[in-house]
Structure formats: structure tokens, C-alpha cells
Amino acid sequence: MVAIVTGASGGIGADLARVLAREGRDLALVARDGARLAALAGEIERGGRPRPLVVPLDLARPDAGEKLAGELAAAGASPDILVNNAGFGLAGLAGDLDRAGQIEIVDLNIRALTGLTLRFLPEIVAARGRVLNVASVAAFLPGPGMAVYYASKAFVVSFSDALSAELAGTGVTVTTLCPGVTRTGFQARAGVAGGLLKALPGMSAMAVAEAGYRGMMAGRRRVVPGLTNKLLVAILPFVPGAILLPLMARVQARRRAP
Ligand SMILES: NC(=O)c1ccc[n+]([C@@H]2O[C@H](COP(=O)([O-])OP(=O)(O)OC[C@H]3O[C@@H](n4cnc5c(N)ncnc54)[C@H](OP(=O)(O)O)[C@@H]3O)[C@@H](O)[C@H]2O)c1
């Protein structure tokens, strides 16, 4: 049995892989950057665990799920845990940003996450295993200035909550991890330059990963790591859109690279 971790070449995914390895799980690591995956596999092996299977793959491509299934089958490995962590966003107005880049957000954050979940669900059900999908606090509000990213994370929460209810009683749990600002490579790829959210210290990727792992093993439906993020998610449903939308538009405009 292996735990698949997507987006394991850095940030939250790499630390989720480290935590899973520490807890005795065998791993399959997936991301585009094979060298960084191999470095992490070496680190885990030096820590006394079996060397993880390294699968360099662009998950935004439609054939990625089949390729990953082929690699696992060739290695004689079957997943009992799936961590859908790979994801990215782009800061900017939807009408100004590159169209292909924004569609790629949908391809990775929505289509690949859904495809891998559906592809591996029969094996996970047979093993009474677990799914951990990484969303964001962005799932709980619209994000003018990062519209496609925020909407993609709303999909992740909706899909994962529904799936967890469909699987109730099977022994399989589906957990959604909803981090707030976390110190990773995310901001650089998104084109975030400054503003309030950049000024916030944010959580460490390891603190987010530990919270996600604990929540997944406890079978929790949602995990919002950190007190500030918990308060934000609790308050957001009570803030009228007429206030929230222009506020978010201003916050996002300040954090964009010129
Ligand atoms: N950091 C934050 O503030 C924050 C807040 C809330 C939610 N999140 C979510 O947390 C998750 C992890 O992000 P992170 O913060 O750890 O960012 P990160 O450091 O940029 O890591 C993203 C990971 O996704 C992988 N990835 C990106 N595009 C890919 C593709 N096409 N195919 C396969 N893998 C791909 C990257 O690896 P390669 O480049 O090697 O492919 C990397 O391993 C994401 O879903 C993100 O939306 C982050």
C-alpha cells in the first residue's frame, strides 16, 4: 500500500510527505520537478524509510491519471491514501490574465483532483483508506483579483464534502484541508508581490501539514489550520457580499506584482 502525495516537490506537499513517511507510510511522490522529488525521496530513505516511488508528471495534462496508475501498477503498488495537494493560483483580473494559465488552474485544481480521486477510489474503498484534498480558506469567499483560483477551491470543498457523505459507513474518510497564507512557493508562482496578505507572517508548511495529517487520520471532514484562519472561516458567512466583494478586490489589487 502507498500514500500518493501530489505536489510533493515543495511546500505543503513535501511536508505532508515527510509527515506520512515519519508515520510509517510508503509513498508515491508526484509533481513536475523530478529532481526535487528525487531529493525528497533520498531524504526519506536516509531517514530509514523505504525509498518513495518518484513519479514526475504534469497533472494538468489529461492523461496524467492513467500515467500515474500505470507507474503504480508497474511498481506493484496500490494506494490506500490519496493526498490531492498540487495546486496553484494566479493574481490578476480574470480579463487581463493569460487565458491558458487560468484554464490550467481549472485543469490542475479541479480536473486532476477529481480525476485522481475517481480513478483511485475503488482501491481506496477496498483498503478502507483515506482521501485528503487541499483547498484553502479562499474556498469560502469569492476572490476578485484571483477569481478562478478562489472558485476552484470552492469546488474542492463542495466535491469533498459531498464525497465524504456518500462514503459514510464505508470506513473511507474524505478530509478537506483549508490553509490560509502559508510560507511556500505559492505566492511567487501566483505573482503576488506585496500588500496585507504578503505582510502577514503566515503559517509554516510543516504546521499546515501536521494539522492536515492529524485531521485526515481522525477522519475529520474539514481542517482549517491556525486560529486566525478558523476565525476568518467562521465570520465570512455573515459578511454581506456588498462589503466583502469590494474589500477583497482592494486586498487582491494591493498584493499583485506591478
Ligand atoms: N501557500 C499558501 O498560502 C496556500 C494557501 C491555501 C492553500 N494552498 C494550497 O496548498 C496546495 C500546495 O501549495 P503550496 O502552498 O505548497 O505551493 P507550492 O510550494 O507552489 O507547491 C505546489 C506544488 O504543486 C506542484 N504542481 C504545480 N503544478 C503542477 C502540475 N501541473 N502538475 C503536478 N504538480 C504540480 C508543484 O510542483 P512542480 O512545480 O514540481 O510541478 C509543487 O510541488 C495548493 O493546492 C494550494 O492551492 C496554499
The CATH number assigned to the domain holding 167 equals 3.40.50.720
Q: What is the pLDDT of residues 197-243, one digit of tens each?
A: 566 779 999 999 999 999 999 999 999 999 999 999 999 999 999 99
Active site residue 213: no
C-alpha cell of residue 94: 480574470
**Nearest 10 degrees: Cα torsion 213, 211, 90, 237:** 120
What is the pLDDT, as a whole number, of residue 252? 87
Which residue of the set 149, 150, 159, 213 is catalytic?
A: 149
The atom number, within ligand 1, closest to the CA of 32 reads 41
Q: What is the pLDDT of residues 49-78, one digit of tens each?
A: 999 999 999 999 999 999 999 999 999 999
If you measure from the C-alpha of residue 88 to the centroid of ligand 1, how many angstroms do you get, rounded to a whole number? 5
Strand order in the sheet with 130-134: 53-56, 27-31, 2-6, 79-84, 130-134, 173-177, 222-223
CA distance 127 to 193: 44
Among residues 106, 81, 108, 102, the alpha carbon closest in space to that of 26 is found at 81
Query: Is 185 near ligand 1, meaning CB less than 6 Å away?
Result: yes
Domain holding 133, by residue range, is 2-255
Q: State how many domains the chain has.
A: 1
